[in-house]
Amino acid sequence: MNKETIIAISFDEKDDYINQFNNNKLSNSLSNYILEECRGKSLANRITLNVKTNFKISVQEKEEFIKMVHENYKTDLEEYTLVLKHSNLKKILIFFIGIVLIYLAYFNDIVSNKVISEVILVIGWVAIWEAAYTWLFESNENRIKIKRLKQLAKCQINFI
């Protein structure tokens, strides 16, 4: 059974949640606060934001706030996915460069100097290890962040 992660948010005025440079965007400090409150919580939990306002807020403003929150995390998700895509392409390139360098190191006809051959061999193995390490260990962090951003992009928002 899924549990729920409840994040309590309180606003004294409308400017507390609006980006200071764009009235249609969520403030960075609020976005960071919500993400920080999710840290360490199970990914199986549903996320709910309980919002308390110390000022009168119309139904339209509530809908705009909900849209701002969801759009904020959808945009973050798209950006993070784009960064990962480019990063993965770079890792694949590094991996293949490592294979080519190892292949070259074994042909002493091309590289007659033994020291240069060993340096090429080491660089090739380091390139392969770097790509493998990232795929094996860092990809978990990326999956967690993507799952969290997806949760926040469709989280429940209640006004209390």
Per-residue model confidence as pLDDT tens digits over 138-148: 778 888 999 99
What distance in Å separates the CA atoms of residue 139 and residue 91, rounded to the nearest whole number?
12
State the total domains in the chain: 1
- Span 14-36, average pLDDT: 88
SS3 23: coil
On average, the pLDDT of the chain sits at: 90
Domain that holds residue 97: 4-159
pTM, full prediction: 0.79
Supply the pLDDT for residue 109: 60
Per-residue model confidence as pLDDT tens digits over 67-117: 999 999 999 999 999 999 998 999 999 999 999 999 888 876 665 677 888
User: Which stretches does DSSP call E strand in the chain?
Assistant: 4-11, 46-53, 156-159
